[in-house]
Amino acid sequence: MSLLAISRGLLFAAALLTAACGKPPVPEKVVEKKSSEAPLRVEYFHVDAATAGGVAGAITFRGDKPARHAISMEADEGCQKASAGKPVYEEGVLLGQNSGLANAFVYIQAGLEGKKFEPNTEAVVLDQHGCMFVPRIVGIRAGQTLDLKNGDAVSHNVHPIPANNREWNQEQAPQAPTVEHRFARPEIMIPVKCNIHAWMHAYIGVVDHPYFAVTGLDGTFEWKNVPPGDYTVAVWHEKLGRQERQIHVAAAGRAAVNFTYR
């Protein structure tokens, strides 16, 4: 072979090598791996009907009955019409027969740790009627739906001010459609105001279990299907403060717990 032919061959091989080095690498085929892990299933606690007990009690007030204070609604003609000319009173301390204290929020404060209960799918209603929040005290589960309604012929504004949940501010025109809200975490208690009518107040108690109650005029409450154990029961009142009691619920037994404000 001539030197010329060898030189041409070497030049051709070098050209091929240069071209090959200049080519971008062929990307590897990416294979998506599907996770075989199933989503975590929530394990709810179910009370054993054979050992379930109950708790009952009453919240009472002893002493001179506080004076009632009338609310002036002169700032809003629509609110004056809603009350039909009748006086509207502040319901901070509302008493019934046998000294029963209404609007007290009572709940199990401790003793249920580690137990997760099935969510409540029923909505709790907070209405605005007669330029007042109805009811004044609301009890609700964390994650449960709160339905806001405006039954008045005037506009209102619902403004909860929580410390452990997201704050929101909901304006509602007269007879506006129902608006849904939820509170993600327990909190005792969340004050609620209306930015339009300064006299409108409500309070919302959020818990992560079904053992709570808002007392009526008789001041009584009762919980059924309570698992046996030792508990701290607490009561909250917007004007009279908080109290606590320790109780024991025996298997298939009943425990009584009463609170007195003075």
215-247: pLDDT as tens digits: 999 999 999 999 999 999 999 999 999 999 999
In this prediction, residue 20 carries a pLDDT of 46
In this prediction, residue 42 carries a pLDDT of 83
C-alpha 127/C-alpha 150 separation (Å) is 6
C-alpha 117/C-alpha 43 separation (Å) is 9
In this prediction, residue 34 carries a pLDDT of 52
Task: Answer whether residue 54 shows pLDDT above 50.
Answer: yes
Q: Which two tokens stand for residue 40?
A: 């975590």
Q: Higher-confidence residue: 155 or 98?
A: 155
For range 37-48, the mean pLDDT: 83
In this prediction, residue 1 carries a pLDDT of 46
Task: Answer whether residue 115 shows pLDDT above 70.
Answer: yes
Looking up tokens 């401790």 gives: 110
Task: Answer whether residue 211 shows pLDDT above 80.
Answer: yes
Task: Answer whether residue 15 shows pLDDT above 60.
Answer: no
C-alpha 58/C-alpha 257 separation (Å) is 7
In this prediction, residue 224 carries a pLDDT of 98
Cα Rg of the chain (Å, integer): 33
Q: What CATH superfamily is the domain 42-108+212-262?
A: Carboxypeptidase-like, regulatory domain (2.60.40.1120)
C-alpha 126/C-alpha 122 separation (Å) is 13
Q: Higher-confidence residue: 240 or 37?
A: 240
Fold agreement between 42-108+212-262 and 118-208: yes
DSSP secondary structure string, the chain? --HHHHHHHHHHHHHHHHHHHHSPPPPPPP-PPPP-PPPPPP------TTT-EEEEEEEEE-SSPPPP-EEP-TT-HHHHHHTTT--EE--SS-B-GGGBBPS-EEEEEES-TT--PPPP-SPEEEEEETTEEESSEEEEETT--EEE---SSS-EEEEE--SSS----EEE-TTPPPEEE---S-EEEEEEE-SS-TT-EEEEEEESSS-EEE--TT-EEEEEEEPSEEEEEEEEETTTEEEEEEEEE-TT-EEE--EEE-
129-138 per-position pLDDT tens digit: 999 999 999 9
For range 252-257, the mean pLDDT: 98
Q: What end-to-end distance do the CA atoms of the chain give, in Å?
A: 121
For range 140-159, the mean pLDDT: 97
Task: Answer whether residue 7 shows pLDDT above 60.
Answer: no
Contacts of 135 (CB under 8 A, 6+ apart): 103, 126, 202, 214
In this prediction, residue 41 carries a pLDDT of 81
Chain-centre distance for alpha carbon 97: 31
Task: Answer whether residue 32 shows pLDDT above 90.
Answer: no
Q: What is the CATH number of domain 118-208?
A: 2.60.40.420
Domain boundaries, the chain: 42-108+212-262, 118-208
Looking up tokens 């005029």 gives: 217
Q: Which residues pair with 233 in a beta bridge?
A: 108, 245
Contacts of 256 (CB under 8 A, 6+ apart): 55, 56, 57
pLDDT-derived band at 38, boundaries 50, 70, 90: low
Q: Higher-confidence residue: 160 or 85?
A: 160
Q: Higher-confidence residue: 20 or 118?
A: 118
In this prediction, residue 8 carries a pLDDT of 53
Task: Answer whether residue 55 shows pLDDT above 80.
Answer: yes
Mean pLDDT of the chain: 88
